Amino acid sequence: MKMLIKNIRQLVQVRDVAPERLSGPEMKILPVIENAWLAIEDGIIADYGSMNDWPGISDWRDLEVVDADGRIVLPAWIDSHTHLVYAGSREGEFVDRINGLSYEDIAARGGGILNSSKRLAETGEEELYESAMQRLMQLQNMGTGAVEIKSGYGLTLETELKILRVIRRLKSTTDLTIKSTFLGAHAFPLAYKENKQGYIDHLINEMLPAVAAEKLADYCDVFCERNYFSEEQTITILEAAKKHGMIPKVHANQLSRSGGVQAGVKVGAVSVDHLEYVDQEEIAALRGSKTMATLLPGAQWFLSLPHPPARRMIDSGLAVAIASDYNPGSSPSGNMALMLSMACVQYNMTPEEAINAATINAAYAMGISSESGSISPGKIANLIITEKIPGYAFIPYAFGMNVNAAVMIKGKIVSGTIGK
Ligand code: NIG
Ligand code: FE
């Protein structure tokens, strides 16, 4: 299968040699070919160039030529942080927050993560799979081509395995790129309320080996926060996970300066995510590390939390990614274009920085830099083809709007249509 897309107004994020990640001032640079063509072969990006420099194709047989007619083409979004396998929804807690309760108040009275965990225990694997697949297809239609999905609403061995098996099934039944993360350390389950060390021992001695035995998780994550897991506990759990071949990630500094960033850097986490409460010390810890600073504008906005100091982080030379945190409690949206708008409006990130954050840097945070995140020869043809818009900055500018005309996964149109 060969396809040539011609008359592309802007081919965005084109890199002959794609960097693994972009830090500080590099994030401002977004390479674009104006008036371009793009060739795809067997679902892989083969070549590209300017329309003034038409490709020297000798064999036109079996070549589908599509006229983009002035539309924009860019890499599909990479969502490196979601919790999209869950049961039920939590709009009741949303209303409670409107009426004055905080996220922490709700959690303290047994709501929040424990509410989702109760519902998940009552839901069968098949139903979980169906609802997660439906959400995944919504994300795909909105232009997401790769998704990291966490467990963490089970909090018992059996229910955590149930979520991870659903993720494994999602991996094998879609063409999207999916990575799975074991988040048994999302909250202390009620049964261990008075015996927190007991849960940590159970997690390390029973849960991690069982997850590893079935090869169910690429990553291991911990919610490092007051009333959840301490900096020390986070390090202990992630060091144990590393022994089972799981790469660490941390939910860090969402509600306080929890030590989550330092813990993440110490264990060599691929990313630390949230970062609403970050100061010079955390920025200094991240500088020079291999850990991606991932911001989750949906959760920060939905819970009315302070903005992470994105400008200060980037201006200090850090690499920043953006993800949706799609989950029923703190971010019931997986709309990545909207996350970009929020990053631009609230955090003063430029459209170039936001697009880099949701493509190249997000690919790094998901461990898929070599296959996704840019228009580069050899990478997977996961693409967004927009409506006729003036330029890529229109995407975050038109907040909440859908400007996608089509989404392509592995070289196949999976939603919408392109050309005429
Ligand atoms: O990333 N902060 C911890 N975990 C999720 C929210 C979980 C929930 O409220 O269901 C998050 O925001
Ligand atoms: Fe999260």
Yes or no: say if 409 and 382 are a contact pair by the CB < 8 Å rule: yes
User: 71 CB less than 6 Å from ligand 1?
Assistant: no
Residue ID of nearest Cα to ligand 1 atom 3: 223
User: 359 CB less than 6 Å from ligand 1?
Assistant: no
Which-ligand-closest: CA of 116? 1
> Which pLDDT value is given to residue 420?
56
User: 187 CB less than 6 Å from ligand 1?
Assistant: no
- Calpha distance 117→163 (Å, rounded): 11
User: 264 CB less than 6 Å from ligand 1?
Assistant: no
User: 251 CB less than 6 Å from ligand 1?
Assistant: yes
Low-confidence ranges of the chain (pLDDT < 50): none
Q: How far is the CA of 154 from the centre of ligand 2 (A)?
A: 14
> Which pLDDT value is given to residue 54?
80
User: 329 CB less than 6 Å from ligand 1?
Assistant: yes
Rg (C-alpha) for the chain, rounded Å, is 21
Q: How far is the CA of 181 from the centre of ligand 2 (A)?
A: 11
Q: How far is the CA of 347 from the centre of ligand 1 (A)?
A: 21
Yes or no: say if 282 and 257 are a contact pair by the CB < 8 Å rule: yes
User: 116 CB less than 6 Å from ligand 1?
Assistant: yes
Q: What order of strands is seen across the sheet that includes strand 144-150? A: 77-82, 144-150, 177-185, 219-224, 247-252, 271-274, 292-295, 320-322
Q: How far is the CA of 140 from the centre of ligand 1 (A)?
A: 22
Q: How far is the CA of 335 from the centre of ligand 1 (A)?
A: 17
Residue with tokens 């989950």: 327
Q: How far is the CA of 11 from the centre of ligand 1 (A)?
A: 35
User: 249 CB less than 6 Å from ligand 1?
Assistant: no
| Burial status of residue 148 (CB atoms within 10 A of its CB: 0-12, 13-18, 19 or more) | buried
What is the number of the ligand 1 atom nearest to the C-alpha of 303? 12
What is the number of the ligand 1 atom nearest to the C-alpha of 274? 1
Query: For a pocket test of ligand 1, which of 251, 255, 258, 326 has the largest count of ligand atoms closer than 8 A to its C-beta?
Result: 251
Q: How far is the CA of 251 from the centre of ligand 1 (A)?
A: 9
User: 327 CB less than 6 Å from ligand 1?
Assistant: yes
Q: How far is the CA of 38 from the centre of ligand 1 (A)?
A: 39
What is the number of the ligand 1 atom nearest to the C-alpha of 328? 10
What is the number of the ligand 1 atom nearest to the C-alpha of 225? 2
Q: Which CA distances in Å does 153 have to 115, 222, 307?
A: 9, 13, 26
> Which pLDDT value is given to residue 61?
77
Q: How far is the CA of 325 from the centre of ligand 2 (A)?
A: 5
Residue with tokens 């860090």: 252
Residue with tokens 């083969």: 46
Per-residue b or e along 325-354, where b marks 16 or more CB atoms closer than 10 Å to that residue's CB? bbbbbbbbbbbbbbbbbbbbeebebbbbbb
Q: How far is the CA of 81 from the centre of ligand 2 (A)?
A: 6
User: 153 CB less than 6 Å from ligand 1?
Assistant: no
